[in-house]
Structure 1
Amino acid sequence: MSATRPPEYPREAAEGVRGEHTHGEPTVPGAPHTGHIPGPRPPVTAVRRHSVRGQVLQALRTALVGGQMTPGEVYSAPALAERFGVSATPVREAMQQLATEGAVEVVPNRGFRVIERDARELAELAEVRALIEVPVLLRLARTVPAARWGELRPLADATAQAAATGDRAVYAESDRAFHRAILSLAGNGQLVTIADELHRRSQWPLLTPAAQQPPRALLVADAAEHSALLDALIDQDLDVVSELVREHFAGADR
């Protein structure tokens, strides 16, 4: 395994965080498109170092979800910093954040290794998410007015549009946004934070390359469940809601 090889980002990912200086306020291009590395270069914006770290963190998360960072590989902060055109400090800070999220682990004197995960871990995460989210959603199904559910339709449509592209990173962001919006109706900020963290962990890549990039059909099917769930919630069909939400989490480990 390499101790220095940086992930093979598309050029735009590195350009999205280029330009940091060692003094207080670097001038760098704006953050990469949310959940998506490729794309036109955004306009230059003056930001402070913590914003550079945020841009690096977003780019690394996107690379992880998209499979551009390989499970088991060790990536050094200086090599990543060179790729991004920034100093090593915001890269180290971003990688430390990923370590707290369970995506990488620190390898002393070498860098950060992408965690090697398997299908069992993914199934366990899906089970924990279901234990938290299913009861909450079923309670909300009995109390939230139909019109309020209708307001979430654009988020469900966004997941369908992202799925159609086959881009896992884009879909991951829209999928989490949809689930956050539903859970936010419970009025419990801690619930939303914990559930979103579990959801993010479930999106990190698996050990096998095939699992890192699921077929577009699976993403499309997952997004279709969002739309069907909203239809059932709007119709206040609790039996269908219960069936759909349990099936959704049963398939969350795919």
Structure 2
Amino acid sequence: MSGFATVIAPAESLREQVESQLSARIVSGEIPPGQVLTVPTLATEFGVSATPVREAMLNLARRGFLSPLRNRGFVVTDVTEDELRELVAVRTLLEAPPMRDVAGALTDDVVVALRELAGNIVQAAVEKRFAEYLAADTAFHLRVLEVTGNRKLLEVVAELRQQTRLVGLAHLVEAETLVQTSMEHAELVDLLVAGDGVAAEALMRRHIRHIGGVWSGRDED
């Protein structure tokens, strides 16, 4: 199914590992909308029993990534233009304005952590490791918002990120666009360290627009 390595790490439960790998493939577009997935086939691919695969697929169905097919398995769901537009609008409202508060408020430890994550994001994009890319990207954005001290904001954004579909990522790797847009994370850290909240907010708005644009295989205005 894939040219990307499937890595099952012992630190997580089998269900969590399978769900993470599958969601990364679906989110990136490596497994496209409309493709049918079956428990036996995936269990063989991952080298695990059917139970964790079935549990992972049921969780992905609850998250809206899959839809069950009677006696056939699951089909990868599609994302409409309206859904993408709404997601971009909500995430922009939640994630961009706080950059003004975060600017100039980063401790040295946070700066070090963010720069490391920014580097990991670019490296994962270069090496086409989508699961690691998405994990580092999520960790970066939540770490930035954590500086606000607003736990409810973190919870809501984390949930929204679980629903985000970036079906153009796999294609962008070949055009190196994914690597280029990934570098915006390091740029954001520089702006926050410099205390430039206005520019940081503008960059975050542009960054989030990629969700409904190039990261989803669509043109941006």
TM range (shorter): 0.7 to 0.9
Partner residue of 1:40?
Answer: none
From the superposition, tell whether residues 175 and 145 of structure 1 become closer, same or farther in structure 2 (CA, over 3 Å): closer
Amino acid at match of 1:77: V
Partner residue of 1:114?
Answer: 76
Question: In 2, distance between residues paired with 1:251 and 1:12?
Answer: 26
Q: 1:50-87 CA deviation, whole Å, 9 max, x = no partner? A: 82222222222233234342311222223322333433
Amino acid at match of 2:205: R
Q: 1:86-144 CA deviation, whole Å, 9 max, x = no partner? A: 332221110011112221112233221101124443332222111111122322226x2
Cα shift at 1:175: 1.4
What does residue range 1-254 of structure 1 map to in structure 2 within 5 Å? Answer: 8-10=1-3, 13=6, 16=7, 30-31=8-9, 51-141=13-103, 144-145=105-106, 147=108, 149-151=110-112, 152-205=114-167, 212-215=170-173, 216-253=175-212, 254=214
Q: 1:183-232 CA deviation, whole Å, 9 max, x = no partner? A: 12223334223212322322353xxxx66422443222322221111111
Question: Secondary structure at 1:113's aligned position in 2?
Answer: strand
Question: In 2, distance between residues paired with 1:147 and 1:227?
Answer: 15
Question: In 2, distance between residues paired with 1:79 and 1:194?
Answer: 34
Partner residue of 2:218?
Answer: none
Cα shift at 1:167: 4.3
From the superposition, tell whether residues 220 and 52 of structure 1 become closer, same or farther in structure 2 (CA, over 3 Å): closer
Aligned residues: 211
Q: 1:31-55 CA deviation, whole Å, 9 max, x = no partner? A: 2xxxxxxxxxxxxx6x8xx822222
Question: Secondary structure at 1:105's aligned position in 2?
Answer: strand
Cα shift at 1:166: 4.5
Higher mean C-alpha displacement, 175-184 vs 82-91: 82-91
Equivalent pair of 2:37/2:75 in contact (CA under 8 Å): yes
From the superposition, tell whether residues 242 and 190 of structure 1 become closer, same or farther in structure 2 (CA, over 3 Å): closer
Amino acid at match of 1:58: S
Amino acid at match of 2:210: G
Question: In 2, distance between residues paired with 1:71 and 1:113?
Answer: 8
Question: In 2, distance between residues paired with 1:235 and 1:126?
Answer: 27
User: Which one scores higher on RCO, CA 8 angstroms, separation ≥ 6?
Assistant: 2
Equivalent pair of 2:28/2:165 in contact (CA under 8 Å): no
Identity of aligned residues (%): 35
TM-score in terms of structure 2 length: 0.80
> Higher helix fraction: Structure 1 or Structure 2?
2
Question: In 2, distance between residues paired with 1:237 and 1:204?
Answer: 29
List gaps (5 residues or longer) in structure 2. Answer: 215-221
TM-score in terms of structure 1 length: 0.71
Equivalent pair of 1:166/1:219 in contact (CA under 8 Å): no
List gaps (5 residues or longer) in structure 1. Answer: 1-7, 17-29, 32-44
Structure label with greater radius of gyration: 1
Amino acid at match of 1:231: D
